[in-house]
Amino acid sequence: MDDFSDADVAWLMDRAAAHREGSASRVVPPPVVGLLFLETSLRTRLGFSAAAARLGGWPLPVFEQRHSAISMDESVAHTVRALSGYCDVIVTRLPVPLNSDVLPLRPRCPILSGGDRGPAGEHPTQALIDLFALRNDLGGAAGRSVVVVGDPRMRSVVSLCRLLVRQGVGEIRVLTVPGLLAGRQPPGGVADRVRAVFDWSDAAGADFLYVAGIPHEAVSLEDRDRLRLTPERLAGLGEGCVVTSPLPVIDEIDEESWADPRLRAFEHSDDALFVRMALLELVLGAAG
């Protein structure tokens, strides 16, 4: 997340808004966008594929390092370096940290993280998408009360909290269960702005409710029920509260809750296309 300056973030928000209104691509010539997805992802992969196509470019997907079961994989670093010779930009989803161990060979094009793993794993592009939702629906993050529901260890939550603090958010409450906090500290720079809560009554007064989700088998079924968004729990939120999720949703949101107009996860998923288009333009130099 730290690779994007505040000026970058401001440009991305404005440029995504322009794309939402139909602005034309600023990338010349049309880009070849490598999609190195060594972990499964539907929305991030297809979202960047669509963004590349909307900019007039071509997505170049890579889902595995070797096809034959009898061949050993090369290193991720070698895969990234080789692919960088064919592309103008690479978007990655990796099962390892995207750090100097993965990028020691000076790739020949920019690299965008679509999510990585490890103790410092993040999902910066999703955080920018969530910030765009806040901007469109509430005018921005500054001074707002944000409640995150689910697992605070998720990379989308880590990146979002860090970005919100930079944007001057009023407060961040994480509605969770004690088992998901074990051995986990808030991400660097936000510890004094994040507060764990354990009851839905603590979500009252939220401007923005972010249903982050819970990994499969991370908690008991009883704890999953405690964190599920239901119509009754929605009723405890203010009329102006915006509710969203980075998706996918398995059982974190009750089916009956989707009828509530405050729940705007799919509208925000639609708008994610414009943020991804702006991201590709930024790293390809269109911001200059």
Supply the Cα-derived Rg of the chain in whole angstroms.
19
Looking at residue 163, its pLDDT comes to: 96
For residue 274, the 8-state DSSP code is H
Would the pTM count as exceeding 0.75? yes
Looking at residue 99, its pLDDT comes to: 86
pLDDT in tens, 144-169: 999 999 998 889 999 999 999 999 99
Pick the CATH number of 124-264 from 3.55.50.30, 3.40.50.1370, 3.60.90.10, 3.30.300.130: 3.40.50.1370
Residue 33 pLDDT greater than 70, yes or no: yes
The residues with which 146 forms a beta bridge, in sequence order, are: 172, 208
Looking at residue 218, its pLDDT comes to: 83
Looking at residue 64, its pLDDT comes to: 75
**Domains of the chain, residue spans:** 6-120+270-283, 124-264
Residue 143 pLDDT greater than 60, yes or no: yes
Helix H or strand E segment including 68: none
Average pLDDT score over the chain: 92
Task: Calculate mean pLDDT across residues 265-271.
Answer: 98
pLDDT in tens, 57-76: 999 999 876 655 555 678 88
Count the Cβ atoms, other than its own, within 10 Å of residue 193: 16
Looking at residue 68, its pLDDT comes to: 55
d(CA 135, CA 140): 4
d(CA 163, CA 283): 19
6-120+270-283 with 124-264: one CATH topology?
yes
Instruction: Decide if domain 6-120+270-283 falls under CATH 3.40.50.1370.
Output: yes
Residue with tokens 């119509």: 231
Percent of the chain with pLDDT over 90: 74
Q: How many CA atoms lie within 13 A of 160 on its CB side?
A: 33
- What DSSP line would sit under 181-239, residue for residue? TTT-PPPTT-GGGEEEE-SGGGGTT-SEEEEEE--TTSS-HHHHHHH-B-HHHHTTS-T
Residue 189 pLDDT greater than 70, yes or no: no
Q: Which residues contact 224 (CB under 8 A, 6 or more apart)?
A: 214, 251, 252
Are 288 and 11 contacting, i.e. CB atoms less than 8 angstroms apart?
no
Percent of the chain with pLDDT over 70: 94
Task: Calculate mean pLDDT across residues 73-99.
Answer: 91
d(CA 59, CA 52): 6
Token reading at 172: 């961040």
pLDDT in tens, 108-123: 999 999 999 988 889 9
d(CA 37, CA 28): 25
